[in-house]
Structure 1
Amino acid sequence: MNEINAIVSDIKKGTLKPIYFLMGDEPYYIDKISNYIEENVLDETEKGFNQQVMYGRDVTIEDIVGAAKRYPMMAEKQVLIVKEAQDLSRSIEKLVSYAENPQPTTVLVINYKYKKLDKRKKLHKAVAKTGLVYDSKKLYDNQVSDWIRRVLSGKKYQIDPKAALMLVEFLGTDLSKIANELDKLMLVLPKETIITDAHIEENIGISKDFNNFELKKAIGEKNVLKANRIINYFVENPKKNPTVMTISLLNGFFTKLLLFHGLKDKSKNSVAKALGVSTYFVDEYFLAARNFPMRKVAQVIAALRDADVKSKGVGANQTQEDILKELLFKILH
């Protein structure tokens, strides 16, 4: 995020690069930079003649170079944005000659999502020398909650750990989806609000009582009644609670629990760091470890892998309901 802020800060100051090559697996920041340039570099009177958006599937590298070499009309700069440029991956190296000697009055923005330039090849070296290469990396699951907190903090909001985890479990690591939901929350909640699981349930529709977070907690406590109630809710609401996601999240929980058993240093901060979780959740692993010794954890992981295969229709003719209930029985008994 610091790198993004530095890029935007330079653009605000008018320190513009002739080429912005935005690449990588996380589209959120690629769109963030590209949209900022599109909306702010030229004023409204200049955009009509001097701002153009192209799409990789519709153009060639020669088309892009030809447009980039034009001079602006009644303005100091022209802005050329190429979206979905990954569709040009087979011919992208043809951009080398332009990148080595770019038009100084053009700001060329290449949105190259889900792919990366080879650092060993000429194009990467040329753009890095004359312009800017930004690699937008996907966040790991255990980094997204911190990202949510930083985004909200910058807007004068806070969020409690459970609410953040609910968002991650429901929306995954897609930052664009998460940002959209945060925007909805900030529209209805006043600044300085500490966002809780109740706010998430009321405004986004994720149940604060029947979700994967609560299921993991109930299983860790060996609370058979609560775990079965949650599974029954999942069965009745399969679109909101896909079996594959539940199995994946439980597998992550028990994999961390296996790692917990192997830790020599079980101080709270050390456990949090080793497992990649907030210290807020560490006590749950201590309790779960007492209820699930290492041998049982290994058995549960095997049962989860078996359920994962079955949930994808391999080697068994069971309903998703039967798979979940059988899995829960194996875990808790």
Structure 2
Amino acid sequence: MHHAAFVAPRGAHTACTVRHAADRGEWDDFQAILPAPHLTQSWGYGEAKRAEGWDVDRLVFELDGQALALCQVLIKRVLGLPVAARINRGPQFLVPHAAADVMCEVYKALRRRWSLGRRGLLLLAPGLEDGDVQRSLMRRAGFRPRGVAGWCSAVLDLRLGEAALRAGLAANWRNHLKVSERGGLVFDMSTSEEAREWMLARHAGHMEEKGFSGTSVGFLRALQRHVPDDFFVCRALLDDQPVAGMIVVRFARSAEYFVGWYGPEARRSKAGNFLLWNAAQAMRGQGCERFDLGGYSSSDGYGRFKQDMRGSEYRLLEEWQCF
């Protein structure tokens, strides 16, 4: 069942209302018509966060009975009482390029839910593109900036087809891809337990070796349990041995590169180019229309590597808060 999406406000003084999503079916129906869905707002992602001690609220914003936007909220409780909430890349609007007054109504309604202090602190990484209009909108709605940079990534439009996507690659990236293809690498994609355990072990070892805290293995296990048919391990094999691997998650006609590992042979064989390119093409074969490169900073080498795939880059607003 599809739902009518809101187009324009019918009355300047009509307040936006908020309700909980009825069930997963309704949530997934809404996700299916989003112009630009985000993995962090998908049902499976929210369910997996429960493994890290979060509760989940899924909100639908309406005006005159028509849906404007939806938002997945993660809630932290102490002794049963909500003390903090987190929204990552939401709310999501059901029409592309929603008008500023429509967006403001949604954020005002969100702000009202936290206006009396009964729900604790709300930390918000908005699903809004970075810009002065959007920043002004957030202030009008009653939010304050936290000084934490927003999410930046790029999306490959898989509907363009393999030839057009390949032609769009930066010249050096395309040349490295050719080198990888001549070097005997083989692409493997699996949802098997063996592949999953191999990838989780590499991810855990990488975090320990480099001394950083990335996405937890516990969360990845929970995510796989909730979306077993949409949790893919992609590997680049050289002489039947994996030299690089990544986890790709499918959701709402989209897929996102989520976690990666690159072994000592990966750089020489250009396995990074080979793996990312073939993962995107495999997701196109799985019916996806969009492939999100999983976030990056243009100030580091790996970020520039992703940028050279020449996807449509987007940058979201910095983080905000309210009480």
Structures share fold, TM-score greater than 0.5: no
The structure with the largest alpha-carbon Rg is: 1
Q: TM-score per shorter chain, which class?
A: under 0.3
TM-score using structure 1 length? 0.27
TM-score for the superposition, normalised by structure 2: 0.27
Whose helix fraction is larger, Structure 1's or Structure 2's?
Answer: 1
